[in-house]
Structure 1
Amino acid sequence: MQVKDIMTANPICISDGASLRDAHLLMQSRGVRHLPVIAESDGRYRGVLTHKKMIASVVGMINRYGAGALDRKERFTPIAEVMEVPGQHLGTDEPLTVVVDYFIDNKSGCLPVLDADMRVIGIVTSSDFVKLAKRLLQQQG
């Protein structure tokens, strides 16, 4: 099996010009835990914002500035300050054995799937592997 067999195609992305508040609202409204970040200028992949990283940033703001300042701090915190910068990414033909090893070794929750022009075409998450495990278990009967 390959990445294209389990990836979520055309994932919800966010612009690198967005704020942490924008990302927070987008994650809540769309029910996602990972947002690939794309350049506003050309749509190319810039990084990823995970729910875990966003929550850590929000908790840090509350601890440092108090709950009353959270909304203002989120609005003025650019995504670029909290996103994980480009690291590992996938192509559609990557074998799933390589991907699962990466997830285990790096305790990662997602990897973006990019085309040759560094544009996001999909995402693979740990949830995709759980869905695959369910499907395989059901096939075994």
Structure 2
Amino acid sequence: MRKQTVQAFMTIGPVVIAPERTLADAHRLMRERGIRHLPVVDAGALVGVVSQRDLYLLETLRGVDAEQERVREAMATEPFAVPPDAPLDQVADHMAEHRLGSAVVVDRGVVIGLFTTVDALRALGTLVRRRGTRPARTPPRAPPAGVSRRPDR
């Protein structure tokens, strides 16, 4: 089986936002497009990523006005960026280890895709179906009411 890359499963041409746009603008874009992550691009270069969770967290702070505050205040300034030919398993492992919701796919300095946890789950489903694999064992069923799994000692 050939090595799978992130490019095969990424969302192509993601919606991006400028750091000077407001948090309200970011929310609006996310709602309209049904997305939870926005790469932040300034003069064509990736400078951050903002998630729906980032926006909600910042907006819970006293005195924050979503119509006035800028995306740069909510974005992560060191986004996980990968090339399109990055191995899928390595990207997924890194995202899981660091509890990241997305990887921004960048080719020659240009954002070309976004690989999210939803994309990772789609990839998992596709790869399992292709291999025709089944779980090594079925999960145990819950015992009937009043019966303990642990034997008495």
TM-score, normalization by structure 1 = 0.85
Counterpart-to-counterpart distance in 1, 2:20 and 2:44: 11
Residue 55 (structure 2) aligns with:
54
Which one-letter code corresponds to 1:7 in the other structure?
M
Residue 25 (structure 1) aligns with:
28
Q: CA RMSD in A?
A: 1.5
Residue 115 (structure 2) aligns with:
124
Q: Write out aligned runs for 1:1-141 (5 A).
A: 1-39=4-42, 42-60=43-61, 64-65=62-63, 73-116=65-108, 118-139=109-130, 140=132
Counterpart-to-counterpart distance in 2, 1:97 and 1:133: 10
TM-score, normalization by structure 2 = 0.79
Runs ≥4 in structure 1, deviation > 6 angstroms? none
Q: Which stretches in structure 2 are left out of the alignment for 5+ residues? A: 134-153
Q: Which stretches in structure 1 are left out of the alignment for 5+ residues? A: none
Counterpart-to-counterpart distance in 1, 2:113 and 2:70: 24
Offset, 1:97: 1.5
Structure number with greater CO (CA < 8 Å, separation at least 6) is 1
Number of aligned pairs?
Answer: 129
